[in-house]
Structure 1
Amino acid sequence: MPTPPSLQALLTLLVALLCQPGTRALGAHLVPTRGCPSCRQEGGPPRALREPGGGETGTAVLALGEPCGVYTLGCARGLRCVPRPGEKSPLQALLQGRGVCARPGRNKTGHNPVLKNLTTAVLPGGSSVPPARSPDGRSAELAPCRRLLNSVLESLKLTVIQSPKDIYIPNCDTRGFYRKNQCRSSKGTRRGECWCVDELGQPLTSPDRGDASLQCDGE
């Protein structure tokens, strides 16, 4: 039986796919073309930014500094959709359209800091951070939220990026337990539903009637 790919490898592949300019055409099938403030013609209304050489039928893209995500239009050539600096839940931010189109940068070691920060933020205990421990001393890998997160990431395929269905990525703390606020991914400009849970993931409010702006006690 072939050895399944590691969790970190799957996450890195997913993020690389999200950030690559080659994925910019996906959003065009999910979200209607919108105006680009930086592309306003003199004396006229805003027009959509299009790739050079694309003509009137070219693919509309987002300009430098514009919000982006899995379900939005892609960034212009030479730009990537990345989490904003200081984002605590970078993968969730990209799924919810809270990224930003930016020029890719590398640190002095030649590594992409976005991928490193995303891996350590979503996977505490991976990369350069020692494994987190739950209150009873066990590895966070055994905690309920972490187990679900591992399962979700292992099942992610490229087709899920193209799917119009809601995506739920569990929001875990550094111990591997559930954070109080859980949300489904947004689709275009519509935010996903949110609900409150306890640290074991048991709902405290209904996910079916959750408000995207829901605030949970203690969060």
Structure 2
Amino acid sequence: ERLALCPPVPPDCPEAARQPGCSCCQICALGPGQPCGVYTARCRLGLRCHVPAREPRPLSALIQGHGTCLPTSEVGGMRTEEPADSIKADEMPLESTEITQDQLLNYQLMFPIGQEKSLPWNSITAYENMKMKRISEVKKWKVQGPCQKELYRALYKLVKAQQRSRGEIYKFYLPNCNKNGFYHSKQCETLLDGEPAECWCVYPKNGRRIPGSPEIKGDPECQQYLSSQE
């Protein structure tokens, strides 16, 4: 039923791809030299969305669609980025489970009420803006909900990894949180290398995977697994 609502892929499209995020709809993959980013279609197989090495903020450039689809062989010589999950625990900020009032406001603006899709790069933009602010005295609010806490830590590690490598990070996971700080049942990784993203189902309260639910490239239809657990 959902697929029937999707717009058709042009008949002259050489390669179809899923829409960004966890959508089931198909769109035309981007060819060599075409602009690309987080919110565009993915590049065709064998291509990678590349941001020039001189770009000071590659993450932000990808948000704005300022990348270019180039053959993987042309960008293969870049310095390999450090995996985001390799950051040591003692490198985390001491108050990583707290957030300032301004930061909380930025976070809520990035995740409006009713938002069902992850906005990982908007989150990164908000986080980068947070880190640039130097507010000496501001009331701190406790982060509400386990997903918000995990997201804050994941953002810190992701930005830290990007700063260290000065390269591009093409695969990462940021929790998909609702407005109350808990998890959306559908969680997906983010890939920028042209491959479809894996999605899976979790319990909204704690983010743990629902037993028996699949991990697939597409929509795992999490609601049916939630209903079976009730």
Q: TM-score range by the shorter chain?
A: 0.3 to 0.5
The structure with the greater share of residues assigned to strand is 2
TM-score (norm 2): 0.38
Q: Report which structure shows greater RCO (CA 8 Å, sep ≥6).
A: 2
TM-score (norm 1): 0.40
